[in-house]
């Protein structure tokens, strides 16, 4: 393994520091799901209340951020006319609150006794926060138990870094099936799909023969296996995803809501909302799948390693100069939101901390962390200003990347070598110390 820090001059007397890490082989690079840590809920509350909603208060209403307590959870329904049968308690709680609570003047108005009881319990257990924007609407952001801190996981590992996008802001929580902290986008290792592809975005794919490419990848290209039965879009099933579809059409058949590798809900009639971080599989009435069933994906058995996150930055040696993957523009309030809603629309000018994963011309893996400006401010010429996507394309190309894609950046961006950082995280505490953000999926070299 090789690591070095470089500094680049930017316009206006600004500077950009980057860390380049070269790995020995793709076999050593694996996915890491850190265990849930205690202060995760408080960390997301800090992001919502300090950065996210104050940054764009005119596009948010009252946002209810909540989690489920470790104990004392009341009995929740498992069937909803609007959402079908569900098995996950957090999904059920989100449905109860969404159907039974609205905020007026910062105070809850209840439309059912079950919603009132659940709200009071969450207040009592300190599992609920209200962050107010400017709009007169109420939205709910359920926080799952899928996130943890990379620095507290496998401290002896040679390399750790953040990887995938995950459900984050209120626009990402488009349905009750979307939970803050849920990773999405293709992750595949040695032919096994850990997370399915979504939105036909570009993915970095390393084949068994060692070749590395960047190409679009979508869920409709794969076979989907549930309970031993295989479904294929356009043959014996139909796949509905955002942004093409906000709700499934009204027709006969069973609708399976799928997030990650699990069936989140089964609906046997009517229309159903398509999750932002998943999809809906429509099948015939003979399907016996149940909520909670495991979902397997076939069709990428020749892929040694694959990941799908942000736009490409270098493709076959050519730096990317524009968006190729499609992203939701939160400021235009498009009809059908899909994550990540806060991905920068200004390819050339939006600076932030950024991450990249790619390969040189010979196919050897390379990592790059572009240090971002501190969220509480920075000193031009002394502290990094962050990189635009165009900056990343230029820098990664100059440093030898031949094919590469952006990983999740912003406050999540970091590389840990033997559990130490050589650059600074852009999220900061009031005393300007680093504030690590919990993530659901990382990459690791043990």
pLDDT digits (tens, 9 = 90+) for 5-36: 999 999 888 999 999 999 999 999 999 999 99
Residue indicated by tokens 């680049």? 8
Residue 270, pLDDT > 90, answer no
Beta strand 229-231 with 238-240 is unpaired
Distance from the first to the final alpha carbon of the chain = 12
Please write the tens of the pLDDT for every residue from 146-199: 999 999 999 999 999 999 999 999 999 999 999 999 999 999 999 999 999 999
Lowest mean pLDDT among 164-168, 331-335, 402-406: 331-335
Q: Give helix 113-124 / helix 89-100 axis angle, nearest 10°.
A: 120
Q: Is 251 exposed, middle or buried (0-12, 13-18, 19+ CB in 10 A)?
A: exposed
Q: How far is CA 197 from the centre of its chain?
A: 12
Task: Give the span between the Cα atoms of 147 and 157, in whole angstroms.
Answer: 19
Q: Is the peptide bond before 439 cis (omega within 30 degrees of 0)?
A: no
Q: Which among 372, 402, 406 is positioned nearest to 390, based on CA atoms? A: 406
103: left (phi over 0), alpha (psi -120 to 50) or beta: beta
Give me the mean pLDDT over the 400-427 stretch.
Answer: 96
- Written as one string, the DSSP assignment of 22-57 is E-S-GGGEEEE-PPP-TTHHHHHHHIIIIIIHHHSG
Q: Residue 252 has what pLDDT?
A: 86
Selected residue with higher pLDDT from 378 and 150:
150
Return the structure tokens found at 205.
Answer: 């794919």
pTM of the model: 0.95
pLDDT band at 332 (very low <50, low <70, confident <90, very high): confident
Task: Give the span between the Cα atoms of 266 and 85, in whole angstroms.
Answer: 5
Task: Give the span between the Cα atoms of 175 and 173, in whole angstroms.
Answer: 6
Q: For the chain, how big is the Rg over CA atoms in Å?
A: 22
Please write the tens of the pLDDT for every residue from 80-125: 988 999 999 999 999 999 999 999 988 999 999 999 999 999 999 9
- 180: helix, strand or coil: strand
Which residues, in sequence order, are bridge partners of residue 161?
415, 443
- As a whole number of angstroms, the longest Cα–Cα distance in the chain is 66
CB 319 within 8 A of CB 394: yes
118: left (phi over 0), alpha (psi -120 to 50) or beta: alpha
Q: Which among 398, 412, 290 is positioned nearest to 6, based on CA atoms? A: 398
Residue 200, pLDDT > 90, answer yes
């Amino acid at each position: 393994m090789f690591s070095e820090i470089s500094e680049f001059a930017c316009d206006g007397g600004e500077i950009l520091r980057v860390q380049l890490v070269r790995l020995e082989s793709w076999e050593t690079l694996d996915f890491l799901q850190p265990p849930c840590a205690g202060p995760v809920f408080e960390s997301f509350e800090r992001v919502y209340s300090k950065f996210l909603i104050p940054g764009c208060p005119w596009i948010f209403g009252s946002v209810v951020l909540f989690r489920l307590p470790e104990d004392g959870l009341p009995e929740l329904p498992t069937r909803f006319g609007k959402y079908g049968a569900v098995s996950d308690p957090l999904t059920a709680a989100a449905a109860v609150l969404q159907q039974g609570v609205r905020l007026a003047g910062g105070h809850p108005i209840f439309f059912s006794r079950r919603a009132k009881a659940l709200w009071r319990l969450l207040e009592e257990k300190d599992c609920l926060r209200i962050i107010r924007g400017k709009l007169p609407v109420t939205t709910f952001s359920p926080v799952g138990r899928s996130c943890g801190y990379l620095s507290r996981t496998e401290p002896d590992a040679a390399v750790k870094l953040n990887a995938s996008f995950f459900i984050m802001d209120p626009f990402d929580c488009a349905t009750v099936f979307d939970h803050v902290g849920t990773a999405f986008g293709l992750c595949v290792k040695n032919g096994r799909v850990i997370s399915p592809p979504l939105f036909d975005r570009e993915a970095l794919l390393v084949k068994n023969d060692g070749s590395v490419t960047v190409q679009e990848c979508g869920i409709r290209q794969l076979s989907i296996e549930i309970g031993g039965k295989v479904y294929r879009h356009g043959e014996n099933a139909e796949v509905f995803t955002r942004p093409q579809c906000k709700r499934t059409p009204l027709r006969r058949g069973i609708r399976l809501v799928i997030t990650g590798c699990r069936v989140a809900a089964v609906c046997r009639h009517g229309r159903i909302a398509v999750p932002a971080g998943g999809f809906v599989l429509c099948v015939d009435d003979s399907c016996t799948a149940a909520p909670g069933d495991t979902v397997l994906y076939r069709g990428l058995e020749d892929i040694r390693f694959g990941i799908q996150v942000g736009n490409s930055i270098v493709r076959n040696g050519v730096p990317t100069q524009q968006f190729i993957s499609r992203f939701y523009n939160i400021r235009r309030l498009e009809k059908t939101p899909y994550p990540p809603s806060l991905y920068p629309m200004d390819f050339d000018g939006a600076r932030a901390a950024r991450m990249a994963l790619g390969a040189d011309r010979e196919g050897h893996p390379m990592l790059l962390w572009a240090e971002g400006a501190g969220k509480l401010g920075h000193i031009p010429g002394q502290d990094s200003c962050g990189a635009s996507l165009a900056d990343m394309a230029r820098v990664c190309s100059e440093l030898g990347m031949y094919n590469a894609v952006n990983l999740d950046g912003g406050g999540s961006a970091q590389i840990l070598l033997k559990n130490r950082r050589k650059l600074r995280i852009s999220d900061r505490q009031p005393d300007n110390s680093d504030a690590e953000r919990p993530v659901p999926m990382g990459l690791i070299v043990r």
